[in-house]
């Protein structure tokens, strides 16, 4: 019961991904096309390869992981389940805190669980080049890593503020052979338009997605596709290997089902990856509290409406039913670059509507304080995104102490922060402040969804 690291043997790695759609009490709302009618798979074909579109619309509960993908991800999988005994001791909590360590992948986060799968399926479909956006740089480097191993070209549009804050992420992408440009860029019509209208914009994930899609669909050879690092059903599907491993690891040490499952949520993929197998248990009667966490600066799940909205700023994507701040949202430059997306994965959004999840928002300073406690007890320096999960873990562990209850808390340690030290520097120098999105700003960005169909 006191193991600090719980390892799974390679032969015990899960061989199928879990698709929550098969177990949801009600079906999720379909994405809509420009005519307001549900889209058909072929409408997505210029953007994604058909084998991934099939996963996107699948209702099968289990989808087999191809052996070739497992061969690549054995580099870091199965990831260890660790117990945060040093943090528990520091907090004097009776809670047992476990976490999946996704920071051990070569790019440093959970993102390669899907980048490898996406690059592999694209290659199978005859695609030669992938385009994508990146916020914090974790996704861009994960796709660069995967394309390099699988033999695809890769072009990354990196949100300008992150490009400036994290130049070394760009170096990682270059090492893995990808091209990375700041977004908005001069390489696309949409990027040039935004630069003309807002020359000093810090950029946004919505703008970078528009650029990457435009780049992919305007390649006349038909050999370029777009790849998204979060939000979509197939991306969340690829991440479920995290939660499936965690279940096996908890069983190995005869630990009970977790009482609380926590993950930070930008587009929702690391959170869903850990939590969806436990959401399945909850649907079937298990008593578990499942918490996605987000910044108060970008409070999509806690303050946005559930609405149909576009996934990108240029309104090129289908309309998606999700919690959203409006596709024109330009986030404030907080340091958790990966948590600045205006929307939330439709499956996570649907599970919130079904009251299966209980989202919470945290202030920037509280998150950095939690990250320091973590670094000074457990030792590792977490990504600023991950600190939003740790702030919640500490809150829940303190609550367990106040109640005198032996709760089991499980969370996803989505990435390390070794490329994010400038944010830590600013925090240590007292230069960071708390920020809650003002009501007027929220109202302004929600103007962009007025007149769109209602879910």
Ligand X SMILES: Cc1ncc(COP(=O)(O)O)c(C=O)c1O
In this chain, which of 84, 147, 265, 367 binds ligand X, going by CB under 6 A? 265
In this chain, which of 386, 387, 445, 448 binds ligand X, going by CB under 6 A? 386
The piece of 123-131, 166-174, 370-378, 382-390 that touches ligand X (CB under 6 A) is 382-390
Quick one: 178 or 452, whose CB is closer to ligand X?
A: 178
User: Nearest distance from residue 114's CB to ligand X, in Å?
Assistant: 9
Q: Does the bond joining 78 to the residue before it have cis omega, within 30 degrees of 0? A: yes
Helix (H, G, I), strand (E, B) or coil at 14: coil
Quick one: 268 or 331, whose CB is closer to ligand X?
A: 268
The piece of 55-63, 91-99, 133-141, 447-455 that touches ligand X (CB under 6 A) is 133-141
C-beta of residue 263 within 8 angstroms of C-beta of residue 271: yes
- The answer to whether 105 contacts ligand X (rule: CB under 6 A) is no
Quick one: 383 or 390, whose CB is closer to ligand X?
A: 383
The piece of 7-15, 120-128, 269-277, 354-362 that touches ligand X (CB under 6 A) is 269-277
- The answer to whether 101 contacts ligand X (rule: CB under 6 A) is no
Residues in 5-34 that interact with ligand X by CB under 6 A: none
- The answer to whether 385 contacts ligand X (rule: CB under 6 A) is yes
Q: How many residues bind ligand X (CB under 6 A)?
A: 21
Q: How far apart are CA 357 and CA 328, in angstroms?
A: 26
Phi, psi of 396 (to 5 degrees): -70, -35
- The answer to whether 294 contacts ligand X (rule: CB under 6 A) is no
Residues in 323-342 that interact with ligand X by CB under 6 A: 338-339
Quick one: 56 or 219, whose CB is closer to ligand X?
A: 56
Nearest-10 Cα torsion for 83, 86, 88, 91: -160
C-beta of residue 312 within 8 angstroms of C-beta of residue 213: yes
**Residues paired with residue 182 on neighbouring β-strands, in sequence order:** 158
Nearest to 418 by CA among 26, 100, 3, 109: 109
C-beta of residue 218 within 8 angstroms of C-beta of residue 54: no
Q: How far apart are CA 99 and CA 386, in angstroms?
A: 11
Which tokens in the block code for residue 376?
A: 């000074």
Quick one: 327 or 407, whose CB is closer to ligand X?
A: 327
Quick one: 211 or 385, whose CB is closer to ligand X?
A: 385
Q: How far apart are CA 7 and CA 79, in angstroms?
A: 7
User: Nearest distance from residue 271's CB to ligand X, in Å?
Assistant: 6
User: Nearest distance from residue 348's CB to ligand X, in Å?
Assistant: 8
Quick one: 91 or 158, whose CB is closer to ligand X?
A: 158
Helix (H, G, I), strand (E, B) or coil at 32: strand
In this chain, which of 138, 249, 296, 448 binds ligand X, going by CB under 6 A? 138
Per-residue exposure over 24-54, b if at least 16 CB sit within 10 Å of its own CB, e if not: beeebbbbbeeeeeebeeeebeebbbeebbe
The piece of 81-89, 249-257, 261-269, 424-432 that touches ligand X (CB under 6 A) is 261-269
Cα angle 212, 214, 220 (rounded to 5 degrees) comes to 115
Which tokens in the block code for residue 130?
A: 């992938």
- The answer to whether 268 contacts ligand X (rule: CB under 6 A) is yes
Residues 6+ apart with CB under 8 A from 337: 135, 136, 137, 159, 161, 162, 165, 166, 384, 385
R_g of the chain, CA atoms, integer Å:
20
Nearest to 169 by CA among 143, 197, 136, 195: 136
The piece of 53-61, 89-97, 268-276, 324-332 that touches ligand X (CB under 6 A) is 268-276
The piece of 159-167, 262-270, 304-312, 321-329 that touches ligand X (CB under 6 A) is 262-270
CA dist list (Å): 224 to 43, 57, 123, 157, 214: 16, 21, 11, 15, 11
C-beta of residue 244 within 8 angstroms of C-beta of residue 318: no
- The answer to whether 118 contacts ligand X (rule: CB under 6 A) is no
- The residue nearest ligand X at its CB is 338
C-beta of residue 289 within 8 angstroms of C-beta of residue 166: no
Residues in 52-81 that interact with ligand X by CB under 6 A: none
The piece of 185-193, 259-267, 368-376, 403-411 that touches ligand X (CB under 6 A) is 259-267
- The answer to whether 109 contacts ligand X (rule: CB under 6 A) is yes
Q: How far apart are CA 191 and CA 449, in angstroms?
A: 21
User: Nearest distance from residue 350's CB to ligand X, in Å?
Assistant: 16
Residues in 188-247 that interact with ligand X by CB under 6 A: 230
In this chain, which of 97, 212, 347, 383 binds ligand X, going by CB under 6 A? 383
Quick one: 87 or 235, whose CB is closer to ligand X?
A: 235
* Footprint of ligand X (CB under 6 A): 109, 135-136, 138-139, 230, 264-271, 338-339, 383, 385-386, 414-415
């Amino acid at each position: 019961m006191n193991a600090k690291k719980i390892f799974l043997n390679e032969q015990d790695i899960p061989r199928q991904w879990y698709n929550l759609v098969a177990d949801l009490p009600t079906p999720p709302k379909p994405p809509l096309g420009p005519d307001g009618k549900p889209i058909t798979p072929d409408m997505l074909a210029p953007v994604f390869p058909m084998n991934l579109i099939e996963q996107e619309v699948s209702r099968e509960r289990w989808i087999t992981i191809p052996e070739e993908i497992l061969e690549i991800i054995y580099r870091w999988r199965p990831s260890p389940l660790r117990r945060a005994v040093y943090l528990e001791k520091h907090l004097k909590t009776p809670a047992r805190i476990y976490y999946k360590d996704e920071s051990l992948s070569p790019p440093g986060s959970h993102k390669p669980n899907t980048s490898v799968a996406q690059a592999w399926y694209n290659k199978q479909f005859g695609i030669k080049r992938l385009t994508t956006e990146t916020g914090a740089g974790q996704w861009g480097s994960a796709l660069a890593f995967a394309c390099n191993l699988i033999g695809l070209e890769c072009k990354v549009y990196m949100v300008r503020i992150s490009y400036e804050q994290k130049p070394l992420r760009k170096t990682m992408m270059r090492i893995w052979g990808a091209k990375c440009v700041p977004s908005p860029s001069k390489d696309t019509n949409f990027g040039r338009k935004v630069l003309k209208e807002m020359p000093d914009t810090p950029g946004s994930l919505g703008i970078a997605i528009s650029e990457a899609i435009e780049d992919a669909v305007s390649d006349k050879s038909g050999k370029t596709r777009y790849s998204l690092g979060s939000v979509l059903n197939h991306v969340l599907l690829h991440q479920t290997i995290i939660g499936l491993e965690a279940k096996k690891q908890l069983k190995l040490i005869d630990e009970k089902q977790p009482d609380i499952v926590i993950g930070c949520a930008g587009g929702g993929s690391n959170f869903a990856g850990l939590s969806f197998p436990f959401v399945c248990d909850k649907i079937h009667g298990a008593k578990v509290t499942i918490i996605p966490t987000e910044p108060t600066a970008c409070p999509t799940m806690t303050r946005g409406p559930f609405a149909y909205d576009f996934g990108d700023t240029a309104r090129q994507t289908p309309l998606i039913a999700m919690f959203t701040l409006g596709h024109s949202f330009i986030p404030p430059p907080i340091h958790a670059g990966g948590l600045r997306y205006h929307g939330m994965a439709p499956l996570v959004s649907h599970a919130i509507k079904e009251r299966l999840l209980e989202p919470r928002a945290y202030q920037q300073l509280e998150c950095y304080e939690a990250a320091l406690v973590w670094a000074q007890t457990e030792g590792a320096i977490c990504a600023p995104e991950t600190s939003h999960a740790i702030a919640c873990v500490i809150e829940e562990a303190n609550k367990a102490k106040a109640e005198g209850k032996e709760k089991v808390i499980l969370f996803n340690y989505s990435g390390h922060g070794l490329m994010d030290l400038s944010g830590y520097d600013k925090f240590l120098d007292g230069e960071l402040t708390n920020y809650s999105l003002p009501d007027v700003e929220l109202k302004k960005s929600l103007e962009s969804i007025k007149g769109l169909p209602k879910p």
